[in-house]
Amino acid sequence: MLIDEATISVKAGNGGNGSVSFKRNAQTAKGGPDGGNGGNGGNVYVVGINDFTTLTEFRYKKNVRAEDGIKGGKQNLYGRNGKELVIQIPVGTQITNLATKESFEVLDTTSKTLIAKGGKGGRGNNEFKTATNQTPYYAEKGEQGEEKRFFLELKLIADIGLIGLPNSGKSSLLSVLTNAHPKIGDYPFTTLEPNLGVMGGLVLADIPGLIEGASRGKGLGDRFLKHVEKTRILIHCVDITADDLKRNYETVRNELILYNPQLLQKKEILVLTKADLLEQEKIKKIENKIKRLNKNYLIVSIYSTESLKKLKEAILA
């Protein structure tokens, strides 16, 4: 399981002060009170977003605040309300108020949850006029907006694992199927955590390092295999241009068995990648061989939207 977390300070807008003012013009030397009300401070809300990478933003942006209300003006002019602030937090994030320990989870992308309330604007002196006091020299101050600190925690479990030998096109597929931007053609063992992306609400993990010996810890493969255990579906990528497709496929399957035989029970989609690099004729021959094996397979190229669409359908089926 991968955990992402951040702590943020949130400040809702202060209310604008009410104004103290009296009507003055050529006709009226000593008019009644006309101080307007201050605007309300902006609220701070949370809405969910299907992009878990947004949490990392709050490592750098630790303070967020909504706009203050504008103070009231002469001639009963109302101050404008401060703009609300809506922060986007990945769906699945647990948000805990650090002072009260109250917490809630961001469940979807449609609901908007208030997390800090803006201060009410103060009333202007016009509102304090009474029968006995026609000239109140008094207006209300705007209230302070709420100020709170929150702990944000997102636990990610990959639903789908992209497996296959190095260079089989896993990272490329992740980048075209999801919002992730993994390094393509990167040396496979440079990262210690799998790259993740979201597709239709499902988390896809690009599991690098599956080579012969991975289950015994070679090339950090076992670190990555533990992520495979949690996934529901495996997308097994095999480079269609490789010399021995069967051997490539079996090398990876064998590492799965050695690590945990139950991994073989998972639904697996065999994906022959980089189909654009091979002539149709050769692809047909390969297909004929696979058909005899009675396996679920797809032939895919990152340059063929049609093939990617079919892959998405197979994953979501």
Ligand X SMILES: Nc1nc2c(ncn2[C@@H]2O[C@H](COP(=O)(O)OP(=O)(O)O)[C@@H](O)[C@H]2O)c(=O)[nH]1
- What are the residues binding Mg ion (CB under 5 A)? 171
Looking at the Cβ atoms of 171 and 251, the one nearer to Mg ion is: 171
Nearer to ligand X, 25 or 281 (CB): 281
3-class DSSP state of 3:
strand
Residue 274 partner contact from ligand X, Mg ion, none using kind-dependent CB cut-offs of 5 to 8 Å: ligand X
Amino acid at 211: I
Tell me which of Mg ion, ligand X, none is bound by residue 250, counting a contact when its beta carbon lies within the kind-specific cut-off of 5 to 8 angstroms.
none
Q: What 3-state DSSP class applies to 211?
A: coil
DSSP state of 209: -
Query: Which residue, 57 or 287, is less far from ligand X as judged by CB?
Result: 287
What gap in Å lies between CA 237 and CA 179, rounded to an integer?
19
Residues that bind ligand X (CB under 6 A): 164, 166-172, 184-185, 188, 273-274, 276-277, 301-303
- C-beta of residue 113 within 8 angstroms of C-beta of residue 104: yes
Beta-carbon contacts of 277 under 8 Å, excluding residues fewer than 6 positions away, are 240, 241, 301
Can you tell me the distance from the alpha carbon of 282 to that of 271, in angstroms, rounded to the nearest whole number? 16
Residue whose C-alpha is closest to residue 139's, from 228, 39, 37: 37
167 touches, from ligand X, Mg ion, none (C-beta below 5 to 8 Å by class): ligand X
Q: Least separation, in Å, of the C-beta of 299 and ligand X?
A: 10
Write phi, then psi, for 143 (nearest 5 degrees). Answer: -75, 155
Q: Which does 277 bind (CB under 5 to 8 A by kind): ligand X, Mg ion, none?
A: ligand X
Minimum separation from the CB atom of position 38 to Mg ion (A): 56
- The phi and psi torsions of 52 (rounded to 5 degrees) equal -70, -10
CB of 255 to ligand X, least distance (A): 15
Q: Which is nearer to Mg ion, 105 or 186 (CB)?
A: 186
Q: Whose CB is nearest to Mg ion?
A: 171
Task: Give min distance, CB of 208 to ligand X, in A.
Answer: 6
How many CA atoms lie less than 13 Å away from 155 in the CB half-sphere?
4
Nearer to ligand X, 6 or 173 (CB): 173
Find the shortest distance in angstroms from Cβ 303 to ligand X. 6
